[in-house]
Amino acid sequence: MAKTYVQDLMGENERILLVARQHWFLLFSNILLEIVLIVLLIVGTAALMPILPIAVVGYILVLVPIIGMIRDILIWSNRQYIVTNRRVIQVTGVLSKEVLDTSLERLTDVKLSQSLLGRIFDYGDIEILTASELGVNLFKRIGNPVGFKTAMLNAKEKLGFEEIGSQFRAEEDIPSMIAKLDDLRKKGILSDTEFQEKKAELLKKM
């Protein structure tokens, strides 16, 4: 199976934890007018079928809002917000692509904003603050913003334990590392299986 564009962006031992898009409300608001135009043109053209030249023009005109709707759907579906075990990635563009990365190491704070409707229909804005001078990334009206924020914070807290064999910190002894892993397990960030695997890797180094 051919790799997708997002899979091509992954580094060695990097894996996708969550993929989010803007809420379908935003897509619906963009294509609503086009849907109305398509319906009106089809109904109007059908009524003018006895006048063949006008009917032909009508059906040709229907292609304009259809093409516009397809364009809006492609833009929406190709705008992705991705959390991996190393970074947060924003991908935009259909044919040409623009990729914005935020390293979890540089992430300093995450701000979640939800209106009343956002809480009811599960969408909101995520603002990512980083240690860099440019330091702010704003993801507007994404679906399941609470889950997105939680995935980012959990991934940041687990950072440094994912590849513990190659990224072991020499200044920390193995028992303290195991204790930190156990703390992550108790918080529900690491599963029991992940904890046992990382613990076994550390014990081999003693």
| Domain of residue 90, CATH code | 2.30.29.30
Average pLDDT, the chain: 81
Left if phi > 0, otherwise alpha if psi is -120 to 50, otherwise beta: which for 43? alpha
Q: Six-digit token pair at 156?
A: 């940041």
- The closest alpha carbon to 81, from 27, 120, 138, belongs to 138
Q: Greatest CA separation found in the chain?
A: 88
Strand partners, 97: none
Is residue 96 within 8 A of residue 76, CB to CB? The reply is no
- The closest alpha carbon to 46, from 32, 62, 34, belongs to 62
Res. 84: pLDDT tops 80: yes
- The closest alpha carbon to 123, from 93, 101, 94, 149, belongs to 149
* 132 lies in the same domain as 194: no
Q: Which of 118, 138, 158 is the last residue of a domain?
A: 158
* 93 lies in the same domain as 139: yes
Segment 129-135 mean pLDDT: 65
Q: Based on the structure, what is the number of domains in the chain?
A: 3
Q: Which of 158, 181, 196 is the last residue of a domain?
A: 158
Tens digits of residue pLDDT in 4-21: 788 888 887 788 889 999
* 149 lies in the same domain as 83: yes
* 88 lies in the same domain as 150: yes
Residue 12's domain comprises 5-22+79-158
* 40 lies in the same domain as 103: no
Its pTM stands at 0.70
Res. 170: pLDDT tops 50: no
Is residue 130 within 8 A of residue 137, CB to CB? The reply is yes
Q: Six-digit token pair at 40?
A: 């009106």
Res. 148: pLDDT tops 60: yes
* 148 lies in the same domain as 95: yes
pLDDT band, residue 60 (cuts 50/70/90): confident
